[in-house]
């Protein structure tokens, strides 16, 4: 399988109501680009028509010159596992993931990957909490409050300086960061924190970028799962102290070569 310039990963769990519209937008956008690209729909054990809808778009994307692949988790395993599965199967020089609801419009992709193309950063991620961010529709008040509390605890336990680690719009220089997903232990809500934490601890450069964002009804993140994320922050510290995030010699060598 030949390499692509860009891999777009879309995690999907029971997304039959909005996946078609999302793929339409992503396909139209990527068709305007001169670089080669692939889209990976990673199904997390959906019980509705998500898979059938994704399959309908394989030929449509071929006609646009875009590869569409369907990746299946063995069982429903959570968003963190879904993203990990997609990242480890991606073949693009740059791999990014975006939520299936496109709460951040795909047109923000150019800004997201620009610092990676110029080799200024290895990771760039969208943030809803920066002053320059444009929030068209806010989350319900209780979710916004819970998010602020989570962010403060995240900073306390990990030392990360970021204002919003949870936005589902992130891009990675794949050859330098794929090892992070091999080391990933958290498959729940806090997996974003874990990925950014590992990157910082090993000197990879990350950028928090202001974006356009709008809340979309139908979130799969329950308040219970949100509460579990607080425990996952503790687990991240525990895994770090036990040395579970140490990269292999091969990963260290690849990073050194690419940073020359």
Whether residues 132 and 181 fall in one domain = yes
> Which CATH number belongs to the domain containing residue 44 in this structure?
3.90.550.10
Judgement on whether residues 148 and 259 belong to the same structural domain of the protein: yes
Q: Using DSSP, how many helices (H) and how many strands (E) does the chain show?
A: 9, 9
- Report the distance separating Cα 134 and Cα 127, nearest Å: 10
Tell me whether residue 86 is in a domain: yes
Enter the tokens of residue 178.
């794929």
Does 189 reside within a domain?
yes
- DSSP label at 127? E
3-state secondary structure of 207: strand
**Does residue 192 register a pLDDT over 90?**
yes
Residues 93 and 147 in one domain: no
pLDDT for the residue 219: 61
Statement to judge: residues 90 and 132 lie in one domain: no
Q: Is 51 in the same domain as 137?
A: no
- pLDDT band at residue 1 under the 50/70/90 scheme: very low
**Domain co-membership, 145 together with 90:** no
Q: What is the pLDDT of residue 223?
A: 57
For CA atoms 183, 233, 196, 136, give the dihedral sign. positive
Residue 116 domain-assigned (yes or no): no
| Separation CA 228–CA 84 (nearest Å) | 19
Q: Which of 1-10, 30-39, 51-60 has the lowest mean pLDDT?
A: 1-10
154 & 225 share domain: yes
Q: Which of 14, 62, 16 is nearest to 39 (CA)?
A: 62
In a domain, 247, yes or no: yes
In the chain, the number of structural domains is 2
What pLDDT is stored for residue 228 in this prediction? Answer: 87
My answer on whether 98 and 137 are in the same domain is no
Does residue 112 fall inside a structural domain? Answer: no
Query: For residue 4, what are the CA distances in angstroms to 66, 131, 205?
Result: 10, 34, 23
Please give the residue range of the domain that contains residue 182.
128-166+175-205+212-260
Contacts of 78 (CB under 8 A, 6+ apart): 44, 187, 188, 191
* Residue 107 in domain: no
Q: In this predicted model, what pLDDT tens digit does every residue of 198-243 receive, in sequence order?
A: 999 999 999 999 999 999 876 655 556 667 889 999 999 999 999 9
Per-residue pLDDT of 83-142, as tens digits, reads 999 999 999 999 999 999 999 999 999 999 999 999 999 999 999 999 999 999 998 998
36 and 159 share one domain: no
Indicate if 135 and 248 belong to the same structural domain.
yes
pLDDT tens-digit profile of 74-92? Answer: 999 999 999 999 999 999 9
| Sign (positive or negative) of CA dihedral 88, 90, 96, 97 | negative
Residue 12 lies in a domain: yes
Residue with tokens 């995240």: 154
Instruction: Check residue 17 and report its DSSP letter.
Output: T
Q: Return the exposure string of 69-97: e unless at least 16 CB atoms fall within 10 Å of the residue's CB, then b.
A: bbbebeeebbbbbbbbbbbeebbbbbbbb
Q: Are residues 24 and 146 in the same domain?
A: no
Dump strand ranges (E) for the chain: 4-12, 37-43, 67-72, 92-98, 123-127, 134-137, 169-173, 206-210, 212-214
Q: Does 93 map to a domain?
A: yes
**Do residues 185 and 81 make contact, with C-beta atoms less than 8 angstroms apart?**
no
The answer to whether residue 260 scores a pLDDT higher than 60 is: no
Say if residue 140 is in the same domain as residue 20: no
Contact by Cβ (8 Å): 66, 31:
yes
pLDDT for 200: 98
């Amino acid at each position: 399988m030949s390499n692509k310039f860009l891999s777009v990963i879309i995690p999907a769990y029971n997304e039959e109501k909005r996946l078609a519209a999302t793929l339409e937008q992503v396909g139209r956008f990527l068709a305007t680009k001169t670089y080669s690209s692939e889209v990976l729909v990673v199904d997390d054990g959906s019980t509705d028509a998500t898979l059938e809808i994704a399959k309908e778009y394989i030929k449509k994307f071929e006609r646009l010159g875009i590869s569409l692949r369907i990746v299946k988790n063995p069982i429903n395993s959570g968003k963190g596992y879904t993203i990990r599965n997609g990242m480890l199967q991606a073949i693009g020089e740059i791999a990014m993931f975006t939520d299936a609801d496109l709460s951040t419009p795909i047109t923000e992709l150019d800004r997201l990957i620009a610092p990676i193309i110029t080799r200024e950063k290895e990771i760039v991620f969208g943030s809803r909490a920066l002053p320059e961010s444009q929030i068209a529709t806010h989350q319900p008040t209780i979710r916004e409050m819970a998010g602020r509390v989570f962010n403060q605890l995240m900073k306390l336990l990990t030392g990360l300086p970021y204002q919003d680690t949870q936005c589902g719009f992130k891009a990675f220089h794949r050859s330098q960061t794929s090892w992070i997903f091999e080391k990933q232990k958290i498959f729940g809500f806090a997996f974003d924190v874990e990925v950014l934490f590992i990157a910082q601890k090993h000197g990879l450069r990350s950028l928090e970028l202001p974006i356009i964002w709008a809340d979309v009804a139908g979130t799969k993140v329950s308040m219970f799962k949100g509460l579990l994320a607080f425990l996952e922050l503790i687990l991240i510290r525990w895994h770090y102290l036990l040395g579970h995030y140490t990269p292999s010699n091969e990963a260290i060598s690849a990073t050194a070569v690419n940073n020359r």
